[in-house]
Amino acid sequence: MEISVTSVFIALAWLPALAIICEVMNHVVCPKRNVPPGPRPWPIIGKLNLIGSLPYESLHNLSQKYGDLMLLKFGFKPVLIASFPEMAKEILKTHDAIFSSRPALTAGYIKRMKALDIKLRKFFKYVLEDHHKAKGKEDCVPKDMDLLADGTDTSATTVEWAFQELVRNPNMIEKANEEPDRTIDKGRWVEEEDLSQLPYIEVIIKETFRLHPLTPLIPPRYSIEECKVAGYDVPKGTMVFVNIWSLGRNPNYWDRPKQFIPKRFLENGINIKGKNFTMLPFGSGRRRCRGYSFGIKLVGTKLSNLLHGFNWRLTGDIKPEEISMKEIYGLTTHPEKPMSMIMEPRLPLHLY
């Protein structure tokens, strides 16, 4: 079907008119409010054009200009972005009841995720039923499946990020090797009960969560009613994101925030379970990740045993400073270029 040049010009001529109509409707439907600052939106697309391949980084950069609480438009939808610990606390604690609901996402995406959820539940059910058969704990299966899925999905990636950082700092990986040797000895593997004796490995994990949160943006919520946040009016139905990635890089709270410095946690004793809003790797409030406790233990035992059981070195002529720390954004955030390493056993061979 051919489209005449005249029709194209007519359509283009209507665009300014459409922009004016949208602006007028915005003021008619939404009376003047004291809303948070933010860039002026374009008609139809809002400010989606400002969001790059790493949305959390784009939003962090925007917050440097517009403030720690800003209002954007994604299409016609108002979106509130919190990038500062005090703002995160307002949303996730002070107004937790108002912002505890999740918005409905694209129908096709939801349908695919539901189908995947059914398949995962069937798989985990086989695993857990076998484990619980002798004890007859059938009622534990659904709850355990959720915890297992929440914990295992992210633990391997967290360990991967920890190694990306440790290999770039050989003195740290050497110190991490020595700790279990000193407290556990080389006659066995590290077990969950041993983790409390490994404070240096614990702070390595905390620093990894700070610099490389697997979900840099807390999954979206929306306001079920109009409210005030930090003195600003937030309309009902506003979608809300808390930028965890930005919280962990705030220079007001973190010395040299872009550097990997595990020992900072030996001094500040920050809790990562959602009570301290300077870093929220598992979220906070009633929507906090259900598998956080299991996930922390899983990451701890995996990383401890990989450090305790093996010496690590880079392959070929790669130098530590050449390791790429670029990220790929998806359901979780992964290294863009996974590194290749050689593992050498360092425990008695009968343990392998």
Residues of the binding site for heme: 289
**Residue 130: C-alpha distances to residues 127, 135, 143, 295 (Å):** 6, 10, 15, 22
Structural element, H or E, at residue 149? helix 141-167
Backbone CA torsion sign across 228, 230, 234, 236: negative
Residue list, annotated binding site: 289
* Type of residue at 198: L
Collect all residues with Cβ–Cβ distance below 8 Å to 283 and sequence separation of at least 6.
92, 215, 218, 219, 274, 289
